Amino acid sequence: MNLVPMSEILNEANKKGYAVGGFNINNLEFLQGIIEAAEEVKAPLILQTSEGAMKYIGRYYVTGMVEAATRDIEIPVALHLDHGGSFEKAMECIRLGYSSVMFDGSHYSFEKNIELTKKVVEAAHSVGVSVEAELGQLGGTEDDITVEEEDATFTKPEEAVEFVDRTGVDALAVAIGTAHGVYEGDPELDFERLSEINEKTEVPLVLHGASGVTDNDVRKAVTLGINKVNVNTNFQQAFSAKVRELMDNDPELYDPRKYCGPGREAIKEKVKEKIDVLGSGNKAVN
């Protein structure tokens, strides 16, 4: 696959003050919509699969599709495991050819999260693969995993410094008030906390659960140090809304190309909107 390590993409974004999309793929149409949009606006791109999406698509289909999608690509693309739950899963993805993995130990104790993350970092770095980790815990639902609001915890700036120092991670996901999936109300982001974490650490910071955050808040988070913004739910919504509209308008519709194609276009438009908010358009030009 024609991929670059995620750290190459994010270190550049960190230096220049913009954010790159960590965009989740769930099937072929997601991959095509996302990659076509990023190419058209010349934005560096981080394609990512959750463990659930890998299972749904099939791991060799993921790498086969990404191999095809990146064959003649001119933008830098990383393939990243999103919310990897174990050392073994991270190693599986590295063997498959992913250029980046997330180890999400956010539900473990601080010490256990450090111990497990460090182990992944040592193995991944020895073969040039980047690692993202998470400290603090987001609420909401992704795949089959739900974290209740009362169990969500914000990232502590002092702990972030120690965590980055002791693990050597390439990117750190912070919990500052966002949640995965569909929100019940408007999220209130703790910008002061984000700014403090950014001042105290050098590492690119990642915003998860960005679908329910307003464009203005995402822009503000980027100015305060976020360099990677994860989006999945908004693309799922865009695809499904288009398919639903077409099905509702024509109950006789049966050819999947006639609704999946427009669904793919809807994702592509949404991706372009996101890239515009993140400021990564035209950043893939030398």
Q: Which residues bind ligand G3H (CB under 6 A)?
A: 24, 82-83, 142, 180-181, 208-212, 230-234
Write down the catalytic residue from 72, 82, 170, 190.
Answer: 82
- Round to whole Å and give the CA distance between 191 and 186: 15
Measured from the CB atom, is 83 or 193 closer to ligand G3H?
83
- Nearest CA to 189 among 170, 204, 169, 208? 208
65 close to 85: Cβ distance less than 8 angstroms: no
Residue 208 sits in the site that holds Zn ion (CB under 5 A): yes
CA distances in angstroms from 18 to 5, 7, 21, 197, 220, listed in the order given: 18, 14, 10, 17, 11
- Round to whole Å and give the CA distance between 229 and 234: 12
Q: Minimum distance from CB of 180 to Zn ion (Å)?
A: 5
Q: Amino acid identity of 142?
A: E
Measured from the CB atom, is 2 or 146 closer to ligand G3H?
146
Q: Minimum distance from CB of 80 to Zn ion (Å)?
A: 11
Q: Minimum distance from CB of 248 to ligand G3H (Å)?
A: 25
212 close to 179: Cβ distance less than 8 angstroms: yes
Q: Tell me whether strands 130-135 and 139-142 are parallel, antiparallel or unpaired.
A: unpaired
Q: Minimum distance from CB of 284 to ligand G3H (Å)?
A: 22
Tokens 């993995």 appear where? Answer: 101
* Residue 181 interacts with, from ligand G3H, Zn ion, none (CB under 5-8 Å by kind): ligand G3H
82 has catalytic annotation = yes
Binders of Zn ion among residues 8 to 37 (CB under 5 A) are: none
Measured from the CB atom, is 124 or 210 closer to ligand G3H?
210
Which sequence positions are flagged as catalytic? 82
List interacting residues with Zn ion (CB under 5 A): 208, 230
